[in-house]
Amino acid sequence: MAPPKPPPKRNLNSVLLAGAALAKSAPKKNTSGNPKRYKKSIWSTTASHNNIPTPPKYKILPQTSILIDGFKYVHPNTSSTYFLTHFHFDHYGGITSNWSAGTIYCSSITSKLLQQQLNVDAKYIQELPMNEAYTIISKDCKGMDVTVTLTDANHCPGAVIFFFTLKKPTRPKAIKRILHVGDFRWNTPLFLKNSLYIKIKTKPVGWLNELFLDTTYCDEKYCFPEQGEAVKATIECVENEDIKNLSTLFLFGAYTIGKEKVFLEVAKKFKKKIYVDSQRYKILSTFIKSDEFEKIFTRNQNETNMWVVSLGNIVNKGMKEILESANKSKKTLSNPYYRVVGFRPSGWSFNPPKKNTSNKKQTLLNPIKRSIPDIVSHRVSGSISIYGIPYSEHSSFSELVDCLLCLRPVKITPTVGAGRSEEQVDLLLTACRVEAERRMYEE
């Protein structure tokens, strides 16, 4: 008896090409009672005999043994070619000052941070140019001709997206195109200023073979404001709190690297210097122009009431400790700080609007502009005031949908919440169909 035909693949191609007809098929369950058999991967021997964790598929560039943000899986038998999208621990974790496992390909800023913060030997780092195709020569290419182009990820300083092309020398016209975004914040007008994305958008559906997608906020409820709107809300809150009042200490939460746009825009608006500690001062110097740097930042706490601190300190206990410490070290004790105001920029600070059941789909994908009190959370406890700012450096759900409708890949591979990858793809494709229909009716 012939085996049953496999169900049709459900991908962005099928959704877009079918128009309003949604592909409802799903992979059939294995009901035979026998476990599925998979081909051994290049990692099988290493994982079983040396107790090395098997890298998840989204860490491996297809048809090669090149790893992307996969530094926890380092072993001589796995790879000697590594790509790092940006300098956040959940991506560079596994790199130490003793790194000697192979070449790390990354942006110039990330290279500087690897050397400055982790003391990685420069001989193991290959800085790549932005927006230029670069040929990778390595045994890990597995006989494929591999090129990579870096574009800005609109995430943190130095964060990049990798666009790979792979082809066999014997079949030069059979090109596989892969986009690995690392972490990114999609913005259609911004990305379409880059010739690469213009090219992808104008090519036929499916020209891009695979998209490795940052699905941090792959949930319909996360349709938070654009970055510019969140920054504008922050400035309005700062204005209401009167930053010129020197008896109030203003704290802006940030990562080791990331969230800089918020405090830089506030400082620019109010012409204020920003206090940062020595470590952050050193980090910021790697990507802010030297002629601007000393005009903006200071290591003297007494020079300004606008400070940048770790995001984790923007809680009641942390802010109280900072306030007490600031007053102890303040030279002008006749003018102590009586209040402390903190700003916590994070996508997790977003409070989604109540669902409009009469027009649910359109509301989810096209959230209306909301007033400042509606998008910013505010808590007050005595002398401590905390604002939750829905500022994110990851894409919102509606932006993920915009990204997919623009790039139209054959395959979507989520890189966050891998255990929910099928559910995430299903959710995104359904939203793409709804949004594609809406746009069609508006034309």
CB environment 278-314: b (16+ within 10 A), e (fewer): eebbebbebbbeeeeeeebbbeebeebbbbbbebebb
**51 pLDDT exceeds 70?**
no
Residue 54: the pLDDT is: 86
> What does the pLDDT look like over 206-259, one tens digit per residue?
999 999 999 999 999 898 899 999 999 999 999 999 999 999 999 999 999 999
Residues 6 or more apart in contact with residue 118 via CB below 8 angstroms: 92, 95, 96, 97, 99
Domains 48-221+397-442 and 227-389 share a fold: no
Count of all residues that appear for the chain in the document: 443
pLDDT tier for residue 141 given thresholds of 50, 70 and 90: very high
Residue 332: the pLDDT is: 60
Angle at 327 between CA 321 and CA 333, to 5 degrees: 170
> What does the pLDDT look like over 312-321, one tens digit per residue?
999 999 999 9
Residue 358: the pLDDT is: 45
Parse the chain into domains and list their residue ranges.
48-221+397-442, 227-389
Residue 13: the pLDDT is: 52
**Spatial CA neighbour of 105 closest among 69, 132, 72, 73:** 69
Q: Which amino acid is at 169?
A: P
Percent of the chain having pLDDT more than 70? 81
pLDDT tier for residue 373 given thresholds of 50, 70 and 90: low
User: Which 3 state secondary structure label does DSSP give 210?
Assistant: strand
Mean pLDDT within 298-326 = 96
**2 pLDDT exceeds 80?**
no
Q: How far is CA 220 from the centre of its chain?
A: 18
> What does the pLDDT look like over 103-112, one tens digit per residue?
999 999 999 9
Angle between helices 260-270 and 227-241 (to 10 degrees): 50
Angle at 21 between CA 19 and CA 27, to 5 degrees: 120
**56 pLDDT exceeds 80?**
yes
Which pTM value belongs to this model?
Answer: 0.85
pLDDT tier for residue 290 given thresholds of 50, 70 and 90: confident
Mean pLDDT within 154-158 = 98
Helix (H) and strand (E) counts in the chain? 15, 17
> What does the pLDDT look like over 417-439, one tens digit per residue?
988 999 999 999 999 999 998 88
Candidate CATH numbers 3.30.1330.60, 3.60.15.10, 3.40.190.10, 3.40.50.720; the one for domain 48-221+397-442: 3.60.15.10
pLDDT tier for residue 61 given thresholds of 50, 70 and 90: very high
Q: How many CA atoms lie within 13 A of 378 on its CB side?
A: 13
Percent of the chain having pLDDT more than 90? 73
Token pair of 237 as six digits? 């809150």
**338 pLDDT exceeds 80?**
yes
**202 pLDDT exceeds 70?**
yes
Mean pLDDT within 12-19 = 47
Mean pLDDT of the chain: 86
**335 pLDDT exceeds 60?**
yes
Question: In 24-152, where do the E strands start and end?
Answer: 67-68, 81-83, 103-106, 125-127, 134-136, 145-152
**Spatial CA neighbour of 53 closest among 25, 26, 22, 74:** 74
Q: What's the CATH fold of domain 227-389?
A: Rossmann fold (3.40.50)
DSSP H or E run through 385: strand 384-389
